[in-house]
Structure 1
Amino acid sequence: MEVIPNNPLLRVTKEDLEFARNSYVITDIQRINESIDAIIEWMQKQDHLVESSKHTSREYLERIYMLALGSTENAKKKIDKLFTMRGMVPEICLHRTPGEFERLLSCVKFVPMPKLVPKDRTRVLVTQVIGKTIDDFSLLEYCRYGNMIGEYRMYHDYNAGDRFICDLNGVSIISKMNPVVMKKYDLIGEAYATKVKSVHIINGPPYIDTLVSLLKTAMRNKVAGRLHVHSSYEDLYEYIDKEVLPEDYGGDELPIAKLAEKWKEHLSKPEMIQWMEDQDKLVSDESKRSSNNFNQEYMGMPGSFRKLNVD
């Protein structure tokens, strides 16, 4: 892939593409294509991945290869891990429809910002609580939606990492934080191996220290060390350029509400509904796996991960 096709929601320039590839040390186009060919051939020979290989695009595999830092063997391991985990946590990864998120999006907006941060080509993703109450908020629904957006970006985005902003608007959400859901969501993020450059909390409630401690228990250590709490937007500007932020935070981009509406309209298109159905096929068939040691090897726990209950 020489250029990223134009996308109505995510802007990626040729310079962004080159910067990201350099940051992951994958600059040889011929080598990239040869590696993707090798990965596809390997998938077609794995009994538990044969069916999913029929629905896996080259664009998707290139992102996996990039996140594997240009290692074909590591890319294979990531695919095996990711496709297996997607099937193990269907409550987060599978059977999604755009209409199911109406209630969630009435109280929370989650949007990737259109432009990358110029200095390091990272993508900023904003979560914004939009009401004074959080009664309609479901952590599981939020994780399903966030995972869906993340998977969409695997086809249309190309960057050197992610930066997350969580605007709590002073609202109490600690009662909604289910540790099991939080841990599952983090494990899925780890399977994708995306680079989380930083996490920023703004407009936190009085109990923010308690919330931060809870969040850190569900995060990988490296990510937990990159969590910041800001008392002002000016403090946030030290980490993220204003030009890529929404008007809500003194930036140059459209307000979060308008960006969220664009995402809602786009995800409701017939071709996107078909895409969601196709994503359900990116799972391994564990009945055909030659060995059944996935839970112990990747999750660090014996037995079935499905036995973890979520209220």
Structure 2
Amino acid sequence: MGDDVGNLKIRPLPPDLLEYAKKKLHEVPKRREADVQAIREWFKKQAHINADPDDQLIISFLRGCKFSLEKTKEKFDMYYTMKTMVPELFKNRDLTKDTLLKETLDLGFFFPTGIDDEGRKVYFCIGGKDDPAKHLTLQVIKVNFMMMDYFIMNDDVSVVKGVVIVNDMSAMKLGHATQFMPSLMKKVSVCSEEGYPFRPQAMHVINIPSFMETLLKLFQSFNKEKMNRRMHAHGKDLESLFKAVPKRTLPMDFGGDAPSSDKLAKEFSAKILDFNDWYVADEKNGVDEKKRVGRSRTKEDLFGMEGSFRQLTLD
């Protein structure tokens, strides 16, 4: 029996994902329409949020929040708040007009490679493909969030089962590291953890240059403890990586059985470009803090650095 989505304009889940969503994410197919409607009713009462998300985006947020309506509301509020609070990452995302943004996408630094043994989507990230003198790290991060928007709208496996990320840092240069200001890292951490219904299950880092180790520690100081527990550094030991991530999900130029990283990256970049109309339409979404009931949020509230370094030891 297939997944009956009723009147909702969402993709039906294949049987294995549906079963997982019911068991692990508390998804009740018969209750989905009511849950989506509850979120829609909540949006109508939020005078400060300028947005009208479609059924697919709402269901992705519900799944990412394990169908807790309160958590879904909190995450949606943050999702639209950061679009206004962090315009450098979430505004002006038209790939047909911004040449540098399109060039950054075409570098092909992030792409899906396959499904692991637990049914999770594996993504490969190649750091340092950009020229630090030309492509700002900010642009790379901006494209990365555009990809995350693509996932939550189009990739049910990533939303339901979660993702595994393999991050290769062999091409990173000192010029890249110097652009990772603590304030930017804090924004990335808060936006990705609190604003997206994303479920990273593991992150594997390989080929870490010595100057990046300190930076990684700094980034971890901003992350939630649960995320840090899921981060694994393998150094240059690919055999150690192969024990954690199936070789069939790694590009052939990294010792795996999947197509080359160039081929996979080009295919994925084309999909992002095809999705450009969504980014253009999303431009109008955000918040008006003057209309928020209660205390208005500020950048200091969301991204203030106080206390962030308390547990950090850089040796």
Normalised by the shorter chain, which TM-score bucket? 0.7 to 0.9
In structure 2, C-alpha distance between the alignment counterparts of 1:76 and 1:298, rounded to whole Å: 18
Q: Secondary structure at the match of 2:287?
A: coil
Partner of 2:308: none
Q: Kindly state the Cα deviation for residue 134 of structure 1 after the two structures are TM-superposed.
A: 4.5
Alignment match of 1:229 (pick from 233, 245, 265)? 233
Q: Kindly state the Cα deviation for residue 132 of structure 1 after the two structures are TM-superposed.
A: 9.8
In structure 1, C-alpha distance between the alignment counterparts of 2:55 and 2:39, rounded to whole Å: 10
Moved more, 145-154 or 224-233: 224-233
In structure 2, C-alpha distance between the alignment counterparts of 1:132 and 1:96, rounded to whole Å: 18
For 1:266, the aligned partner's letter is K
Q: Kindly state the Cα deviation for residue 63 of structure 1 after the two structures are TM-superposed.
A: 1.0
Q: Kindly state the Cα deviation for residue 40 of structure 1 after the two structures are TM-superposed.
A: 0.7
In structure 2, C-alpha distance between the alignment counterparts of 1:147 and 1:16, rounded to whole Å: 24
In structure 2, C-alpha distance between the alignment counterparts of 1:90 and 1:296, rounded to whole Å: 12
Partner of 1:183: 186
Q: Secondary structure at the match of 1:268?
A: helix
Q: Kindly state the Cα deviation for residue 107 of structure 1 after the two structures are TM-superposed.
A: 5.4
Partner of 2:243: 238
Partner of 2:284: 281
For 2:141, the aligned partner's letter is C
Q: Secondary structure at the match of 2:178?
A: helix
Structure 2 spans left out of the alignment, 5+ residues: 306-315
Alignment match of 1:83 (pick from 69, 72, 80)? 80
CA spacing shift, 1:64–1:5, aligned 2, 3 Å:
closer
Superposition map of 1:96-175 within 5 A:
96-98=93-95, 99-105=99-105, 109-113=109-113, 115-119=114-118, 121-129=119-127, 134-158=132-156, 159-172=160-173, 173-175=176-178
Structure 1 residues 152-186: Cα deviation after superposition (integer angstroms, max 9, x where no partner): 11111123222222111253232232211111011
User: Does residue 254 of the first structure (1) align with residue 254 of the second (2)?
Assistant: no
CA spacing shift, 1:258–1:278, aligned 2, 3 Å:
same
For 1:100, the aligned partner's letter is L
CA spacing shift, 1:253–1:16, aligned 2, 3 Å:
farther
Partner of 1:290: 293
In structure 2, C-alpha distance between the alignment counterparts of 1:132 and 1:267, rounded to whole Å: 18
Partner of 1:39: 39
Partner of 1:306: none
Q: Kindly state the Cα deviation for residue 268 of structure 1 after the two structures are TM-superposed.
A: 2.8
Partner of 2:203: 199
Structure 1 residues 134-164: Cα deviation after superposition (integer angstroms, max 9, x where no partner): 4444221111011000011111112322222
Partner of 2:312: none
In structure 2, C-alpha distance between the alignment counterparts of 1:163 and 1:292, rounded to whole Å: 37
The count of corresponding residues between Structure 1 and Structure 2 is: 289
Moved more, 183-192 or 212-221: 212-221
CA spacing shift, 1:75–1:62, aligned 2, 3 Å:
same
In structure 1, C-alpha distance between the alignment counterparts of 2:146 and 2:260, rounded to whole Å: 22
In structure 2, C-alpha distance between the alignment counterparts of 1:244 and 1:170, rounded to whole Å: 21
In structure 1, C-alpha distance between the alignment counterparts of 2:278 and 2:130, rounded to whole Å: 34
Structure 1 spans left out of the alignment, 5+ residues: 7-11, 303-311
CA spacing shift, 1:5–1:62, aligned 2, 3 Å:
closer
Does the 8 Å contact 1:107/1:136 carry over to 2?
Answer: no
In structure 2, C-alpha distance between the alignment counterparts of 1:136 and 1:162, rounded to whole Å: 30
Does the 8 Å contact 2:108/2:269 carry over to 1?
Answer: no
CA spacing shift, 1:171–1:125, aligned 2, 3 Å:
same
Superposition map of 1:20-59 within 5 A:
20-26=21-27, 28-49=28-49, 51-53=50-52, 56-59=53-56
Superposition map of 1:64-79 within 5 A:
64-79=61-76
CA spacing shift, 1:14–1:116, aligned 2, 3 Å:
farther
For 2:253, the aligned partner's letter is D
CA spacing shift, 1:100–1:39, aligned 2, 3 Å:
same
Q: Kindly state the Cα deviation for residue 48 of structure 1 after the two structures are TM-superposed.
A: 1.9
Cα RMSD, aligned residues only:
2.8
Q: TM-score, normalised by structure 1?
A: 0.82
Does the 8 Å contact 1:123/1:163 carry over to 2?
Answer: yes
Q: TM-score, normalised by structure 2?
A: 0.81
In structure 1, C-alpha distance between the alignment counterparts of 2:94 and 2:130, rounded to whole Å: 27
Does the 8 Å contact 1:21/1:66 carry over to 2?
Answer: no
CA spacing shift, 1:300–1:97, aligned 2, 3 Å:
closer
